[in-house]
């Protein structure tokens, strides 16, 4: 990412907020300042109306971004308490719990979201992720398949399903869904994130495992992964790429 400012270049953190990381590769200081302003704004709104679920819902992820898990969970919980019928709030609460490894609680909250809205695409994907983490792969697969049935262009669902199928030993269909995810490309904002990057790696490894290294363009996919992941010595179809890809296969 371009435009990052090294805080050491201009002295101390001008926002004087101990909750802001001293330096983050993924956020520019302009990004951080916007988050500080947003957090302060929602705190102000909460003081005016402490029972407004929306305010708690909006401020919770701002705490999550700075690693304040306690306040993130607190505000997600309050958002659900003040509006128990909001599927989005339930889903986001469950996702926060999933990120913290609290799988049973995460499953409970996401299940509540799906009771409210059975066709909630993000909740279906998140439930699949929770179940996969718990080793319930066949059940997780069914949630991914429903998400795809509802929205065939859901790249996240295709990526998740590919991982599950790969774990279950079905590399043929895993390849198919990773290829679909790549064709769909990044999300609506056009920004390539870590899951997009890893899809190229996973697809390359699966193609090699199936003996489709050349016709499946496994090396090209692995080169793309290395480029997106900012790996050094990215040379298209290089011997280095072939060696790395073979190592990836042996680790699978």
pLDDT at 10: 32
How high does pLDDT run on average in the chain? Answer: 79
The answer to whether residue 190 is domain-embedded is yes
Average pLDDT over residues 127-140: 96
Question: What is the per-residue pLDDT for 191?
Answer: 62
Tell whether 185 is covered by a domain: yes
**4 part of a folded domain:** no
Number of domains the chain contains? 1
**Which of 24, 26, 30, 28 is closest to 4 using CA atoms?**
28
Element containing residue 152 per DSSP (H, E) = none
Given a cut of 90, whether residue 180 has pLDDT beyond it is yes
The arithmetic mean of pLDDT across residues 103-117, rounded, is 97
- With beta carbons less than 8 A apart as the criterion, state whether 93 and 109 touch: yes
Measured CA to CA, the distance from residue 161 to residue 78 in angstroms comes to 32
pTM of the model: 0.75
Select the more confidently predicted residue: 106 or 41.
Answer: 106
**Domain membership flag for residue 138:** no
- Looking at per-residue pLDDT, the higher value among 8 and 183 belongs to 183
Q: What is the pLDDT, as a whole number, of residue 14?
A: 36
CA angle 143, 202, 180 (to 5 degrees): 55
State the pLDDT at residue 129.
95
Determine the Cα–Cα distance for residues 172 and 146; give it in Å rounded to an integer: 20
Confidence of residue 13 (pLDDT cuts 50, 70, 90): very low
At 220 the pLDDT is: 86
Please check whether residue 28 lies inside any domain of the structure: no
CATH number for 199: 1.25.40.10
Residue 54 has what pLDDT?
84
Q: What is the pLDDT of residues 64-109, one digit of tens each?
A: 877 888 989 999 999 999 999 999 999 999 999 999 999 999 999 9
Percent of the chain with pLDDT over 90: 46
Would you place residue 151 in the very low, low, confident or very high pLDDT band (cuts 50, 70, 90)? very high
Flag whether 222 is in a domain: yes
- Domain of residue 203, residue span: 152-252
């Amino acid at each position: 990412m371009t435009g990052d400012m090294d805080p050491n270049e201009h002295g101390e953190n001008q926002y004087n907020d101990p909750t802001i990381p001293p330096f983050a590769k993924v956020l520019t200081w302009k990004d951080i300042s916007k988050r500080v302003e947003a957090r302060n704004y929602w705190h102000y709104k909460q003081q005016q109306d402490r029972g407004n679920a929306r305010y708690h819902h909006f401020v919770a992820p701002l705490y999550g971004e700075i690693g304040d898990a306690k306040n993130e969970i607190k505000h997600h919980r309050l958002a659900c308490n003040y509006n128990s019928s909001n599927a989005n709030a339930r889903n986001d609460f469950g996702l926060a719990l999933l990120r913290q490894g609290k799988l049973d609680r995460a499953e409970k909250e996401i299940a509540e979201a799906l009771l409210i809205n059975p066709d909630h695409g993000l909740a279906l994907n998140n439930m699949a992720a929770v179940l996969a983490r718990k080793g319930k792969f066949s059940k997780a697969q069914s949630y991914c398949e429903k998400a795809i049935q509802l929205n065939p262009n859901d790249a996240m669902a295709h990526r998740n399903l590919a991982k599950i199928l790969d774990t279950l030993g079905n590399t043929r269909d895993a390849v198919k869904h990773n290829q679909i995810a790549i064709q769909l490309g990044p999300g609506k904002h056009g920004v390539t994130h870590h899951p997009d990057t890893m899809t190229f790696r996973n697809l390359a490894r699966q193609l090699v495992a199936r003996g489709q290294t050349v016709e499946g363009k496994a090396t090209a996919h692995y080169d793309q992964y290395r480029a997106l992941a900012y790996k050094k010595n990215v040379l298209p179809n290089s011997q280095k790429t072939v060696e790395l890809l073979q190592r990836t296969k042996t680790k699978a």
